[in-house]
Copies of this chain bind each other. A is one copy, B any other.
Amino acid sequence: MNLPSFADVEDAARKLQGVAVRTPLLRSDALDAAAGGKVFVKAECLQRTGSFKIRGAYNRLVRLTEAERPRGVVAFSSGNHAQGVAASAQMLGVPAVIVMPSDAPRMKVEATRGYGAEIVLYDRFTQSREAIAARIGQERAAVVVPSYDDFDVMAGQGTVGLEAAAQLEEAGARANVLICPASGGGLMAGIGLVFEALSPETRLYTAEPAGYDDHRRSLEAGRRIALEPAGPSLCDALLAPQPGELTFAVNGPRLAGGYAVTDEEALSAMAFAFRHLKIVLEPGGAAALAAVLSGRAELEGRTAVVIASGGNVDAEVYARAIG
């Protein structure tokens, strides 16, 4: 298995210079008081396209060969990876087809179309997005860009960790704990490579929606576990039923565990971020913050980094969260 290393994350950071935003590491007195510790929030909602996904997508697309570029790329995603791929493709002049579920948040579909990508909608309950993407990939000889289980995608997402580690140092802090939302685990894997190298004492945890806490259970079992389909969740970005093969090869040996949060806890964390941090988070993007505010992560007297991974949320859901 060809897995990225810390050096590959550093290389991705060079490619992303001038493309990805160095998002701020926020803190707030109210958050520290609520956690009983010191909590830093890496605000990837302020990233270009509203989530961290552009880091991995661009790092993959920038490495397309001259022959591959005109044939374009195809990706499937409920919306954040979709926007990351579409925006990267637009910057690089590469055609992009994005396969999205017909019930994806409207904002995500519109934004993806806004980056000039061709959208193919599918029914999540009757159609296979993998099959649709594979067919399009074959028909057009386009490169399929996975949303997490990919060497360059993982390395690109890891640049979140590079920045966070540097920002912690600038703040004169060392993190005891880092909590990161996980769907397929690509962001967590990239960050894991970085923290192993730069801050090996930091204990790493995933945060997932209840019923989709495949990382938590896989980490407990010591092997990848695929969950039965669960009920609906507001955390549309975090619905993978199983850790990725490559991502879990990275995450398995490096993580301390995982947290599962309810939709209500995610909404409540969004409201906290509205009130105290003044950042817009989507439910999945608030999962790690929810693990802290729900008290599931015990941070008394400790220093933690929480990844706030995205902010692409429809107004109705947001109004419900803050109301």
A interface residue numbers (CB < 8 A to B) = 21, 23-24, 26, 28-30, 43, 45-46, 48, 50, 87, 107, 114, 271, 274-280, 311, 315, 318-319, 322-323
Contact = CB atoms under 8 A, between A and B. Distances in A.
Contact of A322 (B26, B50, B311, B315): B315
Given A24-B46, A29-B48, A114-B30, A315 B323 contact: yes
Closest 3 CB pairs of A and B: A278-B311, A319-B319, A278-B280
A46 B277 contact: yes
Contact of A279 (B21, B29, B279, B315): B279
Given A24-B24, A30-B114, A278 B323 contact: no
A278 B45 contact: yes
Contacts of A24: 21, 23-24, 46
20 contacts: A21-B24, A21-B26, A23-B24, A24-B24, A26-B46, A28-B48, A29-B87, A30-B114, A43-B46, A45-B278, A46-B279, A50-B276, A50-B278, A274-B280, A278-B280, A279-B279, A315-B319, A318-B322, A319-B322, A319-B323
A186 to B, nearest CB: 21
Given A26-B46, A50-B278, A274-B318, 9 more contacts: A21-B24, A21-B26, A30-B114, A43-B46, A45-B278, A46-B278, A315-B322, A318-B319, A319-B322
